[in-house]
Structure 1
Amino acid sequence: MSAAAMDEPVELEPERTLLIVDDDRLFLQRLARAMESRGFVVSMAETVAEGLTSVQASPPAYAVVDMRLGDGNGLDVIAAIRARRPDSRAIVLTGYGNIATAVNAVKLGAVDYLAKPADADDIYTALTTPSGERVAPPENPMSADRVRWEHIQRVFEMCDRNVSETARRLNMHRRTLQRILAKRAPR
């Protein structure tokens, strides 16, 4: 390869742009790295406002958006993406899934709705599965015990690691919660 060819900028595929909007910074950064390793050009936002600004500047081909964000509802970002780029593929992530919000997310243009904690492989599959095809079930899904443990950990973090407040919000006895938190994560 000539030196001139090496100096030329590499053309990025606009079809591989991905916007990730999530207020959990660690999850956001881990998912961004995982998706970059799968060939996406990733931009990140932690709020609805940042997500909307990013969409206005450059509507992505793909998006992963958390439902509940500190400054509003992630569905506003989904709607803005679909308005600016109708061919985009967006999925919604949430720790608080229910049928009504799933239906609303799909009506606004989301192609899938995944419960947290979602694996990067599951997210990639949901984003890249052609429309109309069913996504294959995961090979090694999390056990019900693990999903419960993850939910408890998420609420615990949201309550600033306050055991009493977490127990109250989960409608659980404080000692029971302390025993669960003292154990290792189930597989």
Structure 2
Amino acid sequence: MKMIDILMAIRTEDIINDYGKLSKDINKPVSLHPSVVYDKYIRILPEDEKVVSIDDVGDIVIKANVGDMIRFNGITLNNNPMYSISVLKFVPMAEKMIQEDVVKMMDLPKVEHYIKMMPVMKMDNPLDVDMQKIKSYYWMIEVNELPYHGSVRVMYYECIIGIYKEGVLQGYVAIEPGIVLDNK
């Protein structure tokens, strides 16, 4: 079993500048689909490019084994520290897939909480660092089975992201990443 880490880097400031006011109804987020739009605002950063890659349409291609865990986390990709994001929802797109196919191949995504240590430089002495405990989370998916040898299987998800400015909700956006299990 291995841990496959994937970071979603979101250009929050660009989204706010281009879209203006976002929907504050989580059930009616602003859609960042198709992939042409999605590519402008989202960067998928895998820990290991031999295991995870992005195909021509923006799907996340993963060479995993049974028992591997896929961890998704999100950050903002702006220098402006006023903006932050939260990946609030990560669910399969089709109800039929939930009941039949996806649950067999991969567990439903679930939230895992953890505490991370964040180094903070002191202003009077940059070599002196204080460590702060920060509560955080990631989305976890376990791979249960693979597609037939020599084939791939694509599963689409709805991912709703909350965008915040100075801790205040600005609205919600939705992306539809495809996860491709590659058994070629």
TM-score of the aligned structures, taking structure 1 as reference length: 0.25
RCO comparison, higher one (Cα < 8 Å, 6+): 2
Q: Rg bigger for which structure?
A: 1
Structure having the larger proportion of residues in helix: 1
Q: Give the TM-score, by structure 2 length.
A: 0.25
Q: Which structure has greater strand proportion?
A: 2
